[in-house]
Amino acid sequence: MIVLGLSGSLTHDPSAALFIDGELVAAAEEERFLRDKHAKNRWPYHATRFCLDFAKVKPEQIDYVAFPFAEIGCTHPGRLHFAKRYWYAPDRALDALFNGNRHFRRNRRGILQLMEDFGIDAQRSPFVPVEHHLAHASSAYHLSGFKGKCAILGIDGKGEYATTFFGYGENGVIHKIKEFYDPDSLGGVYGALTQYLGFEMLDGEFKVMGMAPYGDPAKYDFSRLWESDGRDFKVNTDLVNVVGLRRYKDENRGYYFSPKLIEWLGPKRSGDEIDDPYIDYAAAIQNLLEETSLKLVETYLGDILRETGRLCFAGGVALNVKLNQRLLALDSVKELFVQPAASDAGTAIGAAAFVANAHGDKVKKLKHVYLGPSYTSEQCLAAIEKHPEKPQWRKIDNVPATGAQLLAEGHPLAWFQGRMEFGPRALGNRSILGDPSHRGVADRINAQIKYRERWRPFCPSMLDTVAPEILQTDHPAPYMTFAFTVAEEWKEKIPEVVHEDGTARAQIVDRETNPRYYALLEELEKLRGVPVVLNTSLNRRGEPMICSPTDALNMFYGCDLEYLMLEDILVTKVN
């Protein structure tokens, strides 16, 4: 059976994913092809074309087209809750009651048009909507590889109306236990504070998390943002998750917080530096998110966790690695699988997995996220020959050894090889690398290459042979979805990838999944005694991750990088 999953239901992060007989064979995000971060208000045309071409699937071979946004009935508690909680905006409240599926209708029109444009017959290959949070849940549960019963957690901004999902999976079936509904959204409040702290929603939440360790969470009491007794959860919509006239407005832009938040906390932060009191605000909201989430998890999933020890997690908040560290530290959690594409791009995977499972396919465990396009050295050379900068290049016989030598000399290296990663993390195929034992390499990459805030942390990729020693755990971590406390003896060895609080968001690399990247780490270990690289995504601030050789060359000549490895071709700016 062939199932095509498409996302873009909430006007951002459109993507496509293709399952064949239960196996995820291809997935890509539209932003990578358009070079437009989050590709807002677009449908996944390029991503769909890639998936079909890669798998050599013809439109008439597709059995189902799955989409992560469903029709919600008139009496559904989410619609009623929304109307009640947004009483101060009668137009929104009445719309929820009497026209609550207008977004679904827009989505359906858009996807049916895409299907028609690709020649996919909706009669033969039905359009199948899946509730948004069920798609998130499926993206984690069905691809986790867990056997038997396991707990499922979903936290994000919102889907149709739900914002937070607690449930469990057993024998391939997902069971709901509890949902919370808009505006009562943990992810929504974190997003509103992301805006207040001077960053963009959908993108800056990572920055708030990165800022938090510099601050003191005890300096400010943020409990007034929401009420929660561990069972119920209610956002203070006098302050955050506001709509209409309650929104704070500046330069004709409305924010998801109110002027009352400004009265309480002071002016909205601006600029790239981190300072008081904003670092403490970041620490306070991060701590509040963690503490509230843990209490809710105990209430709704505690018994299942003590029974099974297994937890699956998806939704945008699942990319908060500090929360994941706290979850993994729970006595009842023995195994935690976080969907690496946990945000809305990953719902294309989840919707397709849900439909494939519902129609009899056994969904296979996710082995890696190298699911996008790849390019041969010949294609890289063709891009080089066409590029206006007339790049200097040479063919490399031993790419891992040459790359490791450049890193050992202290040079940052752009590393382009294999299939592009799906999801927000660069995992060794579209990466900028550095030797984390060279002090100052992180500052150089931030200032001269990424052009991002100087305080932003970087992540390590490390060999599986040494990861348990460095991270003090043998829990799997192939996707940079967890923070771990770094062993004391390693903090001085790899200072450029250890954060302010002594943790690192690590990727553990194994030979089978990424042999060339593994070989690079082995070569660096021979030269420096450090089987770890600093790894950040191959892009500049505000851009999507690089997809093609041409994209890589354009970025290379738009920053101070001096070395770019394109498959077996080394491009340089030095003689």
Reported as half-sphere exposure (CB side, CA atoms, 13 A), residue 430 has a value of 31
Cβ pair 125, 62 in contact under 8 A: yes
Bond prior to 515 in cis (omega within 30° of 0): no
Q: CA–CA separation, 45 vs 134, rounded Å?
A: 24
Q: Got the DSSP string for 395-418? A: E-S-HHHHHHHHHHTT--EEEE-S
Please tell me the number of Cα atoms within 13 Å of 345 on its side-chain side: 27
Q: Which residue stretches of 35-164 are H helix?
A: 45-55, 77-85, 90-98, 102-117, 132-141
Contact indicator for 341, 422 with CB cutoff of 8 Å: yes
Beta partners for residue 228, in sequence order: 233
Distance of CA 306 to the CA centre of its chain: 28
311: β partners: 151, 336
Beta strands 335-338 and 64-67, pairing class = unpaired
- Bridge partners (DSSP) of residue 176 are 167
Tokens linked to 203? 């993108």
Nearest to 523 by CA among 393, 396, 430, 377: 396
Q: Which two tokens stand for residue 40?
A: 């807002």
42: alpha, beta or left? (left if phi > 0; alpha if psi -120 to 50)? beta
**Quick one: which of 449, 412, 446 has its CA closest to 559?**
449
Which residues share a beta bridge with 393?
571
Torsion sign (Cα): 207, 479, 39, 417:
positive
**545 in Cβ contact with 537 (< 8 Å):** yes
Q: How far is CA 512 from CA 344, 509, 520, in A?
A: 29, 9, 14
For 52-62, give one letter per residue: b (16+ CB within 10 A) or e: bebbebeeeeb
Distance CA 536, CA 428 (A): 9
The structure tokens listed for 516 are 């060339």
Q: Which of 12, 46, 411, 499 is catalytic?
A: 12
Q: Spell out the residues 6+ positions from residue 202 whose beta carbon is closer than 8 angstroms to its own.
A: 12, 13, 38, 191, 316, 343
Residues 6+ apart with CB under 8 A from 428: 415, 417, 461, 507, 509, 514, 517, 535
Spatial contact of 329 and 322, defined as CB atoms under 8 Å apart: no
Whether 12 sits among the annotated catalytic residues: the reply is yes
Catalytic (active-site) positions = 12
